Structure 1
Amino acid sequence: MKYFFFFLLLFPFLVAAQQQKEVKSQLQTWVSLNSTFRVSDHWGFVGDLHIRRNNFVADNSFYFLRGGVGYWLNEQLSFITGYAHLWLAPSTPGYKTFADENRWYEQIAYSSKVGKVSLLNRFRSEQRWREILRNDMSTGDYSFSNRFRYLISIGIPLSANPFIPQITVANEVAVQFGKQVVNNTFDQFRAFAGIRQSMGRGWSYDFGYMFVSQQKASGYQYDYNHTIRLFFYYTWMRKHGKQEKEPALQYEDE
């Protein structure tokens, strides 16, 4: 009996020990091509392709395609809605089946300037249906969640020459809600620092380091992803002859 009471006294501490924060650190590479096609002053289309790899470039993480239609109230304020599909690689060693994710999204983006510094605020809402796999096979079921994201991005020019890189930093927070979301309402935090540079003829890129913290479904397990990020951007404007003085603030990321 005394051992029973001793166990009862220790039980809360044993549970607490099991629930201590567990962190898995990964090195990733993330490459994407993001395009914007402005067919009029107010209307346009967006489309992008993303590839992310684990263990630098050795292993699959995901493949991602997205498209959408946008309305630009002016050059500062835009509204975009569209569909995306993600192929998510299995995390269990030896498994080969990718999980599908279907996603609808809506976003509002507002860009402004403080002196020469460019600012972007973006709000995005996502409705996500992720395929449930069991023993490396599809169950035919999907889990649903809503995710809300807020991003702030800052561009700091170093020169009036558009071909001299800008300094760029960005932070994003994502929270999610749904029947299956019990312990990980806080989904992700992302922090990026790098350079953004124009390449001419509507092309630009950003390159740098991004840290991603993602809370897993258990609530106490986290992925810390140290990511080398290289994003290319292409913007096509119907108005010919208009030259951008600096690479536009872009906001097409997974």
Structure 2
Amino acid sequence: MTIMKRGILLFYLLFSSILSSQSKDEWGSWIMLYGDNEISKNLDIVTEFRLHHYEIFDVLDNQFYKIGLGYRITPEVSVGAGYVHHYSETRTSISTSENRPYEEICLKRKIKKLSISNRYRLEHRWINNDGVTDFINRMRYRLQVTHPLGANFYIKVFDEVFLNLEQTIFNQNRLHGGIGYTFSPDFKVELGYVKNHFNTHMDDILRIGILFKTHLRKKTNTL
């Protein structure tokens, strides 16, 4: 069996196992659109839009919008900062909105075909819960590993822990495993499973990601 056929089989088995659990009403879904928009050799505008559902593609949980800047200091080290707006609503119609500036640093390395990324992010959260606003800082650390499966398929695994800097320290932990397909260097699609662990409960989530890159910088003419 070729590597590509193995990737297709893994993609099918993952998707089938997720759908087989849908009738249990225990799965949620995340749909993500992520853009990396290059404006100079080392500077990017980062955009992200997400929809989270309590059930697969049904019963909206929250919406998430992000815009930021990323700067590559070296191929292995990058820094970034940006702003996130987040709106959510519980099943009992209690609404929460959040304004969240952030700063981050990302360290990358490669071991043969294995790509390893360590991301450290500091968030400043203004959370409005039915008219009452609270402020809290939060630290996030994500370890991510990707490995190619032939020319187009790849495996992506990550674990991210969220820690409050005030109040209760542990906020949540996200463990993800999935597969992606590279249509071109500027366009990818991913399918994965997320186990989201909170203090009081755990969620099983189908994650679908569409990732694209645009090149907005002016090209210099060469003679």
Q: TM-score range by the shorter chain?
A: 0.7 to 0.9
Which residue does the alignment assign to 1:209? Answer: 193
1:229 corresponds to which of 203, 207, 213: 207
State the 1:42 CA deviation.
1.7
Which residue does the alignment assign to 2:137? Answer: 146
Partners of 2:95 and 2:129 within 8 A in 1: no
Which residue does the alignment assign to 2:111? Answer: 114
Amino-acid identity (%): 25
- List gaps (5 residues or longer) in structure 2: 1-24
Q: Is the partner of 1:73 in helix, strand or coil? A: strand
The one-letter code of the counterpart of 1:199 is F
Deviation digits for residues 196-245 of structure 1, max 9, x if unmatched? 22111611122111100012xxxxxx1211000011111123487xxxxx
Which residue does the alignment assign to 1:29? Answer: 29
- Higher-Rg member (1/2): 1
Which residue does the alignment assign to 2:13? Answer: none
Q: Does 2:177 correspond to 1:199?
A: no
TM-score by length of 2: 0.82
Partners of 2:50 and 2:63 within 8 A in 1: yes
- Cα distance between partner residues in 2 of 1:27 and 1:158: 27
State the 1:26 CA deviation.
4.3
Partners of 1:150 and 1:174 within 8 A in 2: yes
- List gaps (5 residues or longer) in structure 1: 1-24, 134-138, 216-221, 241-254
RMSD (Å), alpha carbons = 1.7
Deviation digits for residues 15-46 of structure 1, max 9, x if unmatched? xxxxxxxxxx9421000100011111121210
- Cα distance between partner residues in 1 of 2:82 and 2:97: 17
- Cα distance between partner residues in 1 of 2:90 and 2:148: 41
Partners of 2:180 and 2:188 within 8 A in 1: yes
Q: Does 2:102 correspond to 1:105?
A: yes
Matched residue pairs, number? 194
Partners of 2:179 and 2:190 within 8 A in 1: yes
1:129–1:91: structure 2 CA closer, same or farther, 3 Å change rule?
Answer: farther
The one-letter code of the counterpart of 1:28 is G
Higher strand proportion (structure 1 or 2): 2
Partners of 1:123 and 1:148 within 8 A in 2: yes
Q: Does 2:66 correspond to 1:58?
A: no
1:132–1:98: structure 2 CA closer, same or farther, 3 Å change rule?
Answer: closer
Partners of 1:26 and 1:223 within 8 A in 2: no
1:168–1:239: structure 2 CA closer, same or farther, 3 Å change rule?
Answer: farther
Q: Does 2:70 correspond to 1:70?
A: yes
The one-letter code of the counterpart of 1:113 is K
State the 1:75 CA deviation.
2.4
Q: Is the partner of 2:57 in helix, strand or coil? A: coil
Q: Is the partner of 1:208 in helix, strand or coil? A: strand
Which residue does the alignment assign to 2:4? Answer: none
TM-score by length of 1: 0.72
The one-letter code of the counterpart of 2:135 is F
Q: Does 2:159 correspond to 1:171?
A: yes
